[in-house]
Structure 1
Amino acid sequence: MDEPGERGMEAEHAELVRQARADGIEALLGGVAVLDAGGRVLLVRRQPGDYLGGRWEIPGGSLDPEEAPRAGAARELAEETGLTGLPLAYLHAADFTGRAGVRARQFAYTATVPDGAPVTLTEHDAHRWAPLDALPELSPHHREILDRLPRA
């Protein structure tokens, strides 16, 4: 039998997706703002030849059809950084207009890892741990997400 917390998370995910669809959102994404013990956030840099190549962002990407936002965020984090098994806490959802004018919403979660946690990149060409008060240039929706993180 499911734990009550699991049923609650499923309901939370369903409501997030339902509201996004009601708002006319066409693309759903998940992302994770990973913090280390020192309060720095993990950023990954897009490959030069990619859409928005060279830009720093939090790990994340498109949800699979019928995938819950939290599960998609965890999957994308594992695929892009090798970080797995982290408890994710919901942070914020940020809307933006993507390629070809598609209305998108990224559901963002947070996780914490010890300083020096190994990061294995598969889709990006670099990563860095950035202090929240000294972030590089980010897209507006990633800035909006990171602005929601508590400052020390």
Structure 2
Amino acid sequence: MTDLQQLVRQARADGIEALLGGVVVRDGSGRVLTVRRKADDYFGGLWEIPGGSLEPDEDPLVGAARELAEETGLTGLDLVYLHAADFTGRAGVRARQFAFTAAVPDGTPVALTEHDAHRWAPLDDLPAVSAHHAEFLARLGGPGPVGRRGRSELD
């Protein structure tokens, strides 16, 4: 089992300034939920997985579930740790995003609040995403996620 707090401590030791959580949601057909940033947003028009910044001292699992709920309305999902990836954000801030996976049935409704579109895409027909999100999605073709499972405090 992956110790998420150890991963957070390692990120801080690595000089990471910002921590984020995200969720790769797959439906019963194996398609991945992607959401598109509004045109007037930072990286406007870019497709991504749901996610965002963790609150100070927030557990990555809890933060990822919170961001998923805020951005898509999806709650009560079992999240499984997938991978962490680094990137450089606004103004050169070094960031690390912790990604989790979750599954929903086909036809699950999505209620967007921060994005202007969503798409359920098969792995072989995904829209262009940032390099660190592409890294998460590439992991889906491997042996499968391992690590901490759990429900968030939002359940």
Report the TM-score, using the length of structure 2 for normalisation: 0.89
> In structure 2, what is the Cα distance between the partners aligned to 1:137 and 1:114?
24
> In structure 2, what is the Cα distance between the partners aligned to 1:136 and 1:40?
12
2:109 to 118, 132, 139: 118
2:84 to 79, 83, 93: 93
CA-based RMSD of the aligned residues comes to 1.4
| Equivalent position of 2:50 in the other structure | 59
| Equivalent position of 1:19 in the other structure | 10
> In structure 1, what is the Cα distance between the partners aligned to 2:20 and 2:126?
22
Deviation at 1:13, TM superposition (A): 2.2
1:79 equivalenced with 2:70 (yes/no): yes
Larger RCO: Structure 1 or Structure 2 (Cα < 8 Å, ≥ 6 residues apart)? 2
| Equivalent position of 2:37 in the other structure | 46
SS at match of 1:133: helix
* Unpaired segments ≥5 residues, structure 1: 1-7
Tell me how many residue pairs correspond in the alignment. Answer: 143
> In structure 2, what is the Cα distance between the partners aligned to 1:110 and 1:119?
16
| Equivalent position of 2:19 in the other structure | 28
> In structure 1, what is the Cα distance between the partners aligned to 2:7 and 2:63?
13
Aligned amino acid, residue 112 of structure 2? L
* Unpaired segments ≥5 residues, structure 2: 143-155
> In structure 1, what is the Cα distance between the partners aligned to 2:81 and 2:140?
11
1:104 to 78, 95, 102: 95
> In structure 1, what is the Cα distance between the partners aligned to 2:125 and 2:85?
21
Deviation at 1:18, TM superposition (A): 0.2
Report the TM-score, using the length of structure 1 for normalisation: 0.91
4+ residue runs over 2 A deviation:
none
Aligned amino acid, residue 135 of structure 1? L
> In structure 1, what is the Cα distance between the partners aligned to 2:137 and 2:4?
21
